[in-house]
Amino acid sequence: MSQFYTSSLINIIHYLSESLIQCDANTRIAELFGDEFDDVDFEMALCCFEATHRVAFRDELQNVPIDQYEELTIEEFLDKYLDPVEQEDELFITKRFRLFEEALTRALLEEGSGPQPFG
């Protein structure tokens, strides 16, 4: 994948982690995760990347458990899962943010800190 895309994803990760995560093209995906940055933050970074560049990650990525790509470097991850074709669907970004919303909701429910009913 181009150095531009790799650099862009790294900059997004730095920004979202408030510069707590320092990484480069050779950083393994697993090395990103910790107290400051988790899998939901990573999904947000991917969503921001897609919105920034109007390119999509391959649909298959949604069904791939993190442990199947966590040993890939950031550069390898982009090479394997990014489809660099510009998206023309006017709802592309809206659909991507909806996917992120669903992932966030699942994560909150799994942690038991999801929305609580009144009463």
In a domain, 118, yes or no: no
At 74-85, the pLDDT tens digits run 999 999 999 999
pLDDT of 99 higher than 90: no
In a domain, 49, yes or no: yes
Q: Would strands 82-83 and 56-57 be described as parallel, antiparallel, or unpaired?
A: antiparallel
In a domain, 39, yes or no: yes
- Rounded CA gap, 28 and 23, in Å? 9
Across the range 101-114, mean pLDDT stands at: 78
In a domain, 69, yes or no: yes
Question: What pLDDT, on the 0 to 100 scale, is given for residue 113?
Answer: 56
Count how many domains the chain has. 1
| pTM value > 0.85 | no
Segments forming the whole domain that contains residue 92: 3-111
Question: What pLDDT, on the 0 to 100 scale, is given for residue 36?
Answer: 87
- Rounded CA gap, 119 and 83, in Å? 47
Ranking 3-7, 43-47, 49-53, 114-118 by mean pLDDT, the lowest is 114-118
